[in-house]
Amino acid sequence: MKRTILLAVLLIVTVLPYSAVSGQNNVIDEIVWVVGDEAIYKSEVEEARSDGQMKGTQWDGDPYCVIPEQLAINKLFLNQAELDSITATDADISQNAELYYKELVAQVGSEEKLEEYYGMTIDQIRNRLYESRRQEYVITKVRSNLISKVKVTPADVRRYLKDMSPDDIPYVDNQVEVQIITQEPVIPQDEIDAVKKELREYTERVQNGEISFSTLARLYSDDPGSARNGGDCGFFGRGEMVPEFSAVAFNMTEPNKISKIVETEYGFHIIQFVERLGDRVRVRHILRKPRIPQESIEKCLARLDTIANDIRTGNHTFEFCVAGYSHDKDTRNNNGLMTYTPNPGVPGVSKFELQQLPQDVARVIDRMHVGEISDPFTMHLSNGKTICAIVKLKSKTNAHRATMADDYELLYDIVYNARCQEALDKWIREKQRTTYVKISDGWNDCEFKYPGWNVK
């Protein structure tokens, strides 16, 4: 089973220009390391340090030792990527870069504050983020290739557990398995019609020159993330938005043109085209979500109450009711069993700690007994929708030291990650011996994690 590994070698995402860090002191940039044919500049170190401080990074040692070494290791990986012809496409990285950009905007409060903080234009910031994410993607591919032959057997896991001191065996918190049945309250057609009428009126007001699209978005859009930026979604690539939204956005070509009404899982939108940059587009949108009447919610809860009683009295099994009544496509084909994916590409895990469950579910499950069926309750999803649900507590495991019988997946991950790290450490040390490295005076008085740099 393949796992995604959390490595001790950190990827350095550089964003800030050197002028934003120390330009006010009129310090001239300088080369501090040379790795092969690649230089590492003091500005890169300062950029990474400033970016790390913004994210609350705690360096394991002097940042002026740790950061250059991490950058040097990245150079080794990037050099291997060239040898192996590993590249990244726009589709591979644009979504990740845009998500991180939006996180930065949310963190500082606005795009204007972001420009001020970084001393760069928005386009410059986006380009730097795009390049850093490109390097990160390529490095990840190289590491994946290097650990592709790592294998772990049940015997390896058993041996690992046997050799551990009892006090070092991982401690597992209380865990639960939960089955769920969900239903969506019916939204009356007149409510949907009213929302569509509002959106058509917005379009008419913009086209008549009465008000700008961005002002309407700030006033009325139900998407708080983009509303404060006048509905601006920033640049995004295909596949980054839900399909219905992307299909319309990528078919638009005329600046300031407003689309017809688009329905997605989030509600109803109108989209205004802004510009295109290569394979990415930039649009504004206004989202309106139809209101769910309390009467519809109560009817939905009543239906689920009847279903819960049928299960409790033995008329039907929970699994039968999942197949016949649940609206949740993610759990319907799994007997209602909730799962999560800890790492990309890894099969879903059904055992949750309470804090890993959606809050609405965790509150209900907290005081239930194994096999018990809950009363119906409402859930608020990440897309803003309100749904109704009942749950069954399938199993509960009390806090304990990890065992092969109950926690094989956890122990497997620990052993697998350790083996992968060993493989990467071995590769780095071998690469060090064959790579030209020069460290400037004042930057080499360090206790490096990998002391074997072949300094010339």
pLDDT band at 73, cuts 50/70/90? very high
Q: Are 377 and 422 in a shared domain?
A: no
Please indicate, yes or no, whether residues 178 and 314 belong to a single structural domain of this protein. yes
The predicted model gives 186-205 an average pLDDT of: 96
In this structure, the answer to whether residues 329 and 419 fall within a common structural domain is no
Nearest-angstrom CA–CA distance, 258 and 263: 15
Residue 423 lies inside a defined structural domain of this protein? yes
Tell me the per-residue pLDDT of 80-104, one tens digit each, with 9 for 90 and over. 999 999 988 776 777 677 777 877 8
Res 250: pLDDT: 94
Residues 418 and 393 in one domain: no
Q: Please indicate, yes or no, if residue 147 is contained in any of the structural domains.
A: yes
User: Is residue 167 in some structural domain?
Assistant: no
Residues 6+ apart with CB under 8 A from 451: none
Range of the domain at 110: 18-151+413-439
The pLDDT of residue 348 is 75
| Nearest C-alpha neighbor of 15 from the set 58, 47, 52 | 47
Dist CA 65 CA 80 (whole Å): 23
Neighbouring-strand partners of residue 272: 258, 284
Confirm whether 164 is domain-assigned.
no
282 and 359 share one domain: no
How many domains does the structure of the chain reveal?
A: 3
| 304 and 181 together in one domain | yes
pLDDT digits (tens, 9 = 90+) for 440-453: 988 988 989 998 88
Which of the pair, 128 or 81, is modelled with greater confidence? 81
If asked whether residues 219 and 99 sit together in one domain, one would say no
Q: Which residue has the tokens 């002097």?
A: 62
Q: Residue 392: which of 310, 303, 285, 297 has the closest Cα?
A: 310
Which range (63-77, 247-261, 401-415) has the least confidence? 401-415
* Residue 450 belongs to a domain: no
**In Å, how far from its chain's centre is CA 77?**
23
CA-to-CA distance for 225 and 234, rounded, in angstroms?
A: 11
CATH (domain of 377): 3.10.50.40
- DSSP 8-state symbol, 34: E
Whether residue 26 is predicted with pLDDT greater than 60 in this model: the reply is: no
Most confident range (mean pLDDT) of 235-244, 273-282, 425-434 is 425-434
The pLDDT, as a whole number, for residue 338 is 94
Predicted pLDDT at 333: 87
Give me the helices (H) in 153-312, please: 154-163, 189-207, 213-220, 224-227, 243-249, 294-312
Q: 222: helix, coil or strand?
A: coil
Once rounded to an integer, what is the mean pLDDT over residues 244-252?
Answer: 95
Same domain, 355 and 307: yes
CATH of the domain at 418: 1.10.4030.10
Share of the chain above pLDDT 90, in %: 59
In angstroms, rounded to a whole number, what is the distance separating the alpha carbons of residues 388 and 377?
6
**Does residue 355 have a pLDDT over 60?**
yes
Give the residue from 288, 316, 332 where a domain finishes.
Answer: 288
pLDDT bucket at 9, cuts 50 / 70 / 90: very low
Please state, for a pLDDT cut of 70, what percent of the chain lies above it.
Answer: 91
112 and 236 in a single domain? The answer is: no
Decide if 48 is inside a domain. Answer: yes
452 in a domain, yes or no? Answer: no
Is there a single domain that holds both residue 394 and residue 417? Answer: no
Q: Does any domain span residue 13? A: no
Task: Give the per-residue pLDDT at 343.
Answer: 57
Cα 295 off chain centre by = 36
Give the integer Cα–Cα distance in Å for 342 and 357: 13
| Whether residues 183 and 307 fall in one domain | yes
Based on the domain organization, do 212 and 109 belong to the same domain?
Answer: no
